[in-house]
Amino acid sequence: MKKLIIFDLDGTLAKSKSAIDKEMAILFQELLEISQVAIISGGDWPQFKKQVLDQIPIKSLLSKLSILPTCGTKFYQYDKKWIKLYEEQFSDDERKEILLNLNAAIKNSGIEIKKTRGNQIEDRGSQITFSALGQEAPLEEKKEWDSDFEKRKKIVLPLQKLLKDFSIGMGGTTSIDITKPGIDKAYGIAKLKEILKIDINEMLFIGDALFEEGNDYPARITGVKCIQVRDPEETKRIIETIIACSTITI
């Protein structure tokens, strides 16, 4: 039994930009009763609140939950209210460099995007996210657009050469996340170790983008035990297994 269970959000705990369903909310609550839990994802704080926190009725359990938005560039803990422990903001020069090269990489990729809904590029302060079809595109459209990640690779691979000093990863269904150099999910896991005083070998990371160039991939380099999932349904079965194993006595 690991002391800390760490999750990605979109594609792992919930469908993209959607709230966790009732079954997941119950399982997540049961997991909090037996273990420390953390969520590291590319979304910003409002997404975590909408997708997870508003769905958990027993607030007393929140003291065992750590929230790391924008791929670990922010860290929140609960003590009667949510407290932000740190935030790694871009400088103005970094922001300009990222936006200039991101727009160039999108243009040069040759990818045709006929219609977008909502913002395509979002500045989250400590992370800049490109959502190919826009932040408000329907989930079904997003799932079909780049299920094999090949379209986004046409943007990410040249972008990695242009922005060598930044961390770039693909997550969710259509997004590309850019953070400060070295500030990614590996950084977030290191912060969890430092703040919670839990060793790497006592952690488990669960995510849907643990492949190379995926935004969960940096978790692998920390040495933390990782489990790749296809979707939230598979995550539910893993949580059930963890809970079941915690009740076994010898």
The annotated binding site is made up of 8, 10, 124, 175, 177, 208
Annotated catalytic residue 44: no
- Rounded to 5 degrees, φ, ψ at 187 are -60, -45
Binding-site residues for alpha-D-mannose 1-phosphate, in ranges, read 124, 175, 177
Residue 96: phi and psi, rounded to 5, are: -65, -40
Query: Which amino acid makes up residue 58?
Result: I
What burial letters (b/e) apply to 144-181, b meaning 16+ CB within 10 Å? Answer: ebbeeeebbebbbeebeebbeebbbbbbbbbbbbbbbe
Q: Is 8 labeled as catalytic in the residue annotation?
A: yes
Q: Which of 81, 13, 40 is nearest to 203 (CA)?
A: 40
Token pair 């190919």: residue: 132
64 CB-near residues (< 8 Å, 6+ apart): 32, 35, 36, 37
Q: Which of 8, 44, 184, 216 is catalytic?
A: 8
Give the active site residue among 10, 44, 146, 216.
Answer: 10
Residues with a catalytic annotation lie at: 8, 10
